[in-house]
């Protein structure tokens, strides 16, 4: 039964009260939280992440599918990631439009005064919505009445504000690409009225090989070719849809640069073991001095170092938009590639001892560096052809996706202007 909308002329509060009264009287009508904009034929958005894919991997003969999509759609020679250029912070930036300092996933490894420790391997933390602040696009979309489904995405496994995407899966690296594609295919083949409006897909192998063998190694190129072949299958699936109505966004979270074991900055050589707690290490390190050692640790770290610079959290470069969240450690040390910040204690842990590895690629460096730039390629019915976007950032993607879906974005840190240029028609607030 429909409610007669005699409430349209009233103020919002009195509207709600009157709707409630009318509904109680008429027994069976549902009150949508926000007006449903659902137009069945609005193109869906499929957001694909190729972890650790840097744009310089394109146009070298390894990526015929991506090259074609880039040339016949919109593409950026370098999308600036948010600080720090790590996987969890930037995947969540892509779907919230917020810098990590605002959305709370300030590192892959962090501590929270109330919640304890967070790491990608600690499932309880990854699935705990209290870590994930801000409003991911799947919540924005669901609240506007759209359907959402994720084939892996950091944050999708968490009950953020008590909700998940309508369909989601627990991350499992062994769930192979064929299986992932079959899930996406099952969504795409649904009739337009049942198809999710917002979908994700995630590939990790380019990042994994980039770390193990370095960005220019043949094994990394092989992983790049393989992911491109997977993308060609997706493009074929979309082309085969009767209505072809999917906007494809292919992004990465950050780039990759060459490092090697001869360029390790050993923290152990600088500081006594018991003077600090190491919250994270690698391209950047988060250090919490023990209270009784604060001054001594600061004196050592804040002095100039040849291949890294350390800052108190309130004195970080402003362009990093980082340092106000309580989860950011007291001191952040940022290495300059090919140097990374190492710690012998970390290599003595049982997990490392079981599987010691030499890493020849890393990310987490200054987001301004060329090698840290992320991938952005867009193609579909709403996207102009032959557009090159020179100045976009990962924070801009959330608002772009809201435009494509015709929904109102939550407040965010992105600039909607650069990406509006690639849209055939301005799609904001179409309902
Ligand atoms: P990074 O250490 O920043 O290079 O992170 C890349 C790794 O993140 C990949 O190798 C994946 O295994 C892992 N990863 C990606 N998504 C998830 C997820 N939802 N849950 C746990 N781990 C993930
Ligand atoms: Zn990553
Ligand atoms: Zn990585």
In a domain, residue 74? The reply is: yes
Looking at the structure, tell me whether residues 215 and 290 fall in a common domain. Answer: no
Question: pTM for the complete prediction?
Answer: 0.90
In a domain, 242, yes or no: yes
Q: Are residues 144 and 247 in the same domain?
A: yes
Q: Are residues 74 and 186 in the same domain?
A: yes
Residues 70 and 148 in one domain: yes
420 CB less than 6 Å from ligand 1?
A: no
Residue 184 in any domain: the answer is: yes
Is a pLDDT exceeding 90 seen at residue 340?
yes
Question: What distance in angstroms lies between residue 88's CA and the mean position of ligand 3's atoms?
Answer: 10
Task: Based on the fold, state whether residues 236 and 187 are members of the same structural domain.
Answer: yes
For residue 298, what is the domain's CATH number? 3.30.1360.180
CB atoms within 10 A of CB 284: 22
Average pLDDT over the chain, rounded to whole?
Answer: 89
> Rounded to whole angstroms, how far apart are CA atoms 253 and 260?
22
Give the residue among 106, 125, 85 at the shortest CA–CA distance from 335. Answer: 85
Count: domains in the chain: 3
DSSP label of 394: G
- Is the CB–ligand 1 distance for residue 175 below 6 Å? no
pLDDT score of 17 more than 70 = no
Q: How far apart are CA 236 and CA 68, in angstroms?
A: 13
Residues 340 and 289 both lie in one domain: yes
Note whether 1 and 145 are same-domain residues. Answer: no
Is the domain of 339 the same as that of 376? no
Say what the pLDDT of residue 140 is.
Answer: 98
Do 239 and 145 lie in one domain? The reply is yes
What is the per-residue pLDDT across 143-180, written as a single tens digit (0 to 9) for each? 999 999 999 999 999 999 999 999 999 999 999 999 99
Could you tell me if 400 and 251 are in contact, meaning their C-beta atoms sit under 8 angstroms apart? no
Instruction: Return the residue whose CA atom lies nearest to atom 6 of ligand 1.
Output: 87
Residue 26 binned pLDDT confidence (cut-offs 50, 70, 90): very low
135 lines ligand 1 (CB under 6 A): no
- Is residue 245 located within the same domain as residue 338? no
What is the CATH number for 382?
Answer: 3.40.720.10
Distance 109 CA to ligand 1 centre (A): 12
Is residue 171 lining ligand 1, measured as CB closer than 6 Å?
yes
CA gap 56, 103 in Å, rounded: 29
Residues 6 or more apart whose Cβ sits within 8 Å of residue 263: 307, 338, 339, 340
Give yes or no: residues 186 and 67 share one domain.
yes
State pLDDT tens for residues 239-272: 998 777 999 999 999 999 999 989 999 999 999 9
Flag whether 25 is in a domain. yes
Residue range of the domain that includes 151 = 44-98+134-257+369-420
Instruction: Lowest mean pLDDT of 20-24, 99-103, 118-122, name the range.
Output: 20-24
- Has residue 191 been placed in a domain? yes
- On whether both 311 and 393 belong to a single domain, the answer is no
**Residue that finishes a domain, picked among 339, 358, 377:** 358
Residue 122 within a domain: no
Would the CB of 204 count as within 6 Å of ligand 1?
yes
Residues with CB under 5 A from ligand 2 (ion): 51-52, 87, 207, 253
Query: Is 103 within the bounds of a domain?
Result: no
Residue 38: HSE in the Cβ half-sphere, 13 Å Cα cutoff:
19
Q: Measured between alpha carbons, how far is 237 from 389 in angstroms, rounded to an integer?
A: 27
Average pLDDT over residues 393-412: 97
Kindly calculate the radius of gyration of the chain based on its CA atoms and give it in whole angstroms.
Answer: 23
Q: Could you tell me the CA-to-CA distances from 290 to 274, 329, 354 in Å, in that order?
A: 8, 12, 30
Asked whether the beta carbons of 363 and 386 are under 8 A apart, the reply is no
Q: Is residue 22 part of a domain?
A: yes
Position 348 pLDDT exceeds 90: no
């Amino acid at each position: 039964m429909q409610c007669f909308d005699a409430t349209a002329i009233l103020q919002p509060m009195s509207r709600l009260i009157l709707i409630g009264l009318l509904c109680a009287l008429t027994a069976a009508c549902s009150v949508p939280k926000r007006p449903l904009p659902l137009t069945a034929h609005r193109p869906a958005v499929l957001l694909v992440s190729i972890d650790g894919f840097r744009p310089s991997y394109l146009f070298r003969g390894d990526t015929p599918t991506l090259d074609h999509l880039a040339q016949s759609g919109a593409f950026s020679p370098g999308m600036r990631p948010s600080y720090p250029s790590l996987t969890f912070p930037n995947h969540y930036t892509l779907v919230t439009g917020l810098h990590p300092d605002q959305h709370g996933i300030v590192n892959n490894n962090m501590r929270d005064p109330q919640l304890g420790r967070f790491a990608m391997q600690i499932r309880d933390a990854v699935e705990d919505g209290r870590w994930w602040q801000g409003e991911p696009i799947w919540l924005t979309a669901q609240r506007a009445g759209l359907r959402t489904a994720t084939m892996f995405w950091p944050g999708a496994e968490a009950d953020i504000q008590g909700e998940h995407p309508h369909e989601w899966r627990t991350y499992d690296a062994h769930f192979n690409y064929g299986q992932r594609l079959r899930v996406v295919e099952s969504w795409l083949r649904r009739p337009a009225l049942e198809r999710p409006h917002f979908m994700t897909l995630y590939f990790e192998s380019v990042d994994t090989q980039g770390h193990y063998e370095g960005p220019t190694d043949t094994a990394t190129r092989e992983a790049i070719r393989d992911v491109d072949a997977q993308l060609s299958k997706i493009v074929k699936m979309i082309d085969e849809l009767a209505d072809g109505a999917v906007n494809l966004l292919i992004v990465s979270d950050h780039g990759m640069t060459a490092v090697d074991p001869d360029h390790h900055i050993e923290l152990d050589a600088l500081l006594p073991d018991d003077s600090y707690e190491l919250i994270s290490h690698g391209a950047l390190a988060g250090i919490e001095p023990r209270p009784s050692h604060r001054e001594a640790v600061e004196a050592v770290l804040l002095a100039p170092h040849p291949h890294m610079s350390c800052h108190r959290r309130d004195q970080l470069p402003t362009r990093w938009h980082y340092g106000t969240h309580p989860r950011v450690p007291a001191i952040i040390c940022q290495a300059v590639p090919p140097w990374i910040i190492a710690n012998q204690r970390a290599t003595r842990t049982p997990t490392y001892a079981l599987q010691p590895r030499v890493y020849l690629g890393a990310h987490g460096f200054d987001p301004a560096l060329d090698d840290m730039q992320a991938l952005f390629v867009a193609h579909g019915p709403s996207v102009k052809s032959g557009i090159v976007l020179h100045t976009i950032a990962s924070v801009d993607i959330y608002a772009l996706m809201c435009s494509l879906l015709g929904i109102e974005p939550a407040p965010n840190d992105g600039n909607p202007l650069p990406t509006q240029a690639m849209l055939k028609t301005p799609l904001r607030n179409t309902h």
